[in-house]
Amino acid sequence: MEERDRSSILKTSPTREAETERAGIRHLMKGLLSLQGSEMVNRILDLERADEFVRALPHIDVYWLVKKIGGDDALPLLRLASVEQWQFLLDLETWNRDRLDMEQATSWLGRLFHADPERVVKWLLGEGELFTYFYFSNKIEVRVKDKDDFFEDTSFTTFDDVYYFRALNEEERDFLGEVLSLLAEEDYLRYQAVMQGVAGTLRDELEEEIYRLRNVRIAEDGFLPYEEAVSLYAHLGPDALKAEKASLVRPETSSNLPAVPLALILQVGEKTLFMEALEQESDPVLLDRMRVEFAGLCNQIISADRVRVGDAEDLAVVCRKAAGYINAGLEKLSGGSPGSCRKYLKEKTLQQIFRIGFSLALELKWEAERWLKEAWFVRKDLKPAFWGDWGGILVGILQKRPLFYRGSSSEPPYSDFKGSADLDTCREILRQMKAVDHLLEGISLEHPVERAWTKDPLFTFHALILNFWARRMLAIQPGFAPLSLRDVTSFFRLLRSDAEGPPYGMEDFKGIFVKDITAQAQNFDPDTMKALLQALFLVWDNFMQEYAWVATGDLDGRFLKFILTSPSPRTAPR
């Protein structure tokens, strides 16, 4: 009995040790996330076995650390990293689509060389041999001296009086000479082979082979060729998801395996249904699977979006995009239920859930495109700016991969959707635009909109609605026509008849405004009428806020954003 118990303990202890080690790495990575570049380097170097820690990290985590620290400041980290981790970094940093970026190749090879020249030389003569031939064939000119020749060109350098070379870029001469010198010292016969081969290298064929091998290596981490990676954006509805099989990653738990990727999922930060589900999950195997899948998903997004990662923030944007659409997908599938959420996380891949979330944005785009084919404002040759800030929402929805407009004051103004709340906001505004568009089309049948009015740079739909209502309130000729400044002043005095001073709320007229405008809505279905009411309430609120602190005597026709005046000083000919 004791022997059986002892045997059981021996079998399970590696798993427990592995999980304990992974927990330690997770804790350390979370701490590193909050540090700046130099602090991060010092924290790693202070570890008792810093080299073992770095080399145990997945390639993508080392890559993130390097980007967070900055390439030139990351030399101590590069010195600790493995050759395989170097290769991963070069695979991501030195390619521009299917072409090797020679400037980036020199930059990163230089960093690695200064971090650990001996290992770099061994790599150039070993696993990186094809890179060596291609790189130097683009960087140096080689001439071979015959036994009886006298070589007079002093711009060339030689180590053996046989192979002469010169840098094609004078600024790189010292660096290239230093690398070649160490290659010759390390293995003279291999150095000779490199110099002999540089002159006869078939560059196109060699580059194609290097690119193929690079794609094979990084595909294991989710960096698929563009043509395959874009499948991530294929539409997938909840019904189709039920029939689609899930190829679930099943991480092994062994003390010999490296920790699962952590850096990318730690970038998300926001409290969403997805992130809360991860925080509450207690199954270590499921958590490891989520982390592996999330890293692979982010890497596939980088490939599909052709992201050129400049720094750690570029990676963080990708992570937030992945998490946002996963969150939207989970909210759609689970209805916000944590129990149902866990069910989908267990049974479906994060890529499938991401596609569900992205498909919601795709469906919103399709709805907008269908409307634009028949929209009144398009037939009037008006641009999205006609809708004011709503126009930004429309432009974002219509992007190849829809984006959420967060306002002109935001930096950046467009971002990826963070969840169903952003999608719902866009959906509601789109329906309000459709309702107002339908309203204006109906009114314009009797009161046409003249082309000259729409040239005003501040012209928006607000001006049409408020001009129409102002004319009604002033009992003057109905329609959308511009108002004189005298009429505008009379209009504001009427609205502020009971006001003692700023801020001018004009709240008593809100109901009258909405009632008068909705009276023009003919044969609206209940949903469209609801959207119209919401739009009109927003129009009134924006109108009140715009003029709450503007005295009636200070009204200036040049700056009346919500009222169209005539003659308009903004468009009147000189």
Q: Which pLDDT score, from 0 to 100, does residue 12 have?
A: 37
Dist CA 295 CA 287 (whole Å):
12
Structure-token pair, residue 246: 């899930």
Q: How far is CA 374 from CA 358, 381, 441, in A?
A: 26, 12, 11
**pLDDT (tens digit, 9 = 90+) per residue, 454-469?**
887 778 999 999 999 9
The pTM score is 0.86
Dist CA 450 CA 566 (whole Å):
13
Q: Which pLDDT score, from 0 to 100, does residue 4 have?
A: 38
Q: Which pLDDT score, from 0 to 100, does residue 402 have?
A: 97
Q: Find out whether 106 and 138 touch, Cβ atoms under 8 Å.
A: no
Which residues are bridge partners to 99 per DSSP? 96
Dist CA 291 CA 297 (whole Å):
10
Q: How far is CA 466 from CA 238, 477, 486, 536, 541, in A?
A: 43, 14, 16, 10, 12
Dist CA 555 CA 487 (whole Å):
11
Spell out the SS3 assignment of 240-260.
HHHHCCCCCCCCCCCCCCCCC
**pLDDT (tens digit, 9 = 90+) per residue, 188-239?**
999 999 998 887 778 889 999 999 999 999 998 889 999 999 999 999 998 8
Tell me the mean pLDDT per 10 residues along the chain, length 574: 34 53 76 87 93 92 93 95 96 94 97 97 96 95 81 86 93 96 96 87 89 94 92 93 72 51 85 88 89 94 93 92 96 89 92 97 97 96 94 97 92 92 96 98 94 84 95 94 92 84 81 96 94 96 88 80 69 37
Q: What is the DSSP string of 33-44?
A: HTS-HHHHHHHH
Q: Which pLDDT score, from 0 to 100, does residue 26 have?
A: 76
Dist CA 341 CA 281 (whole Å):
11
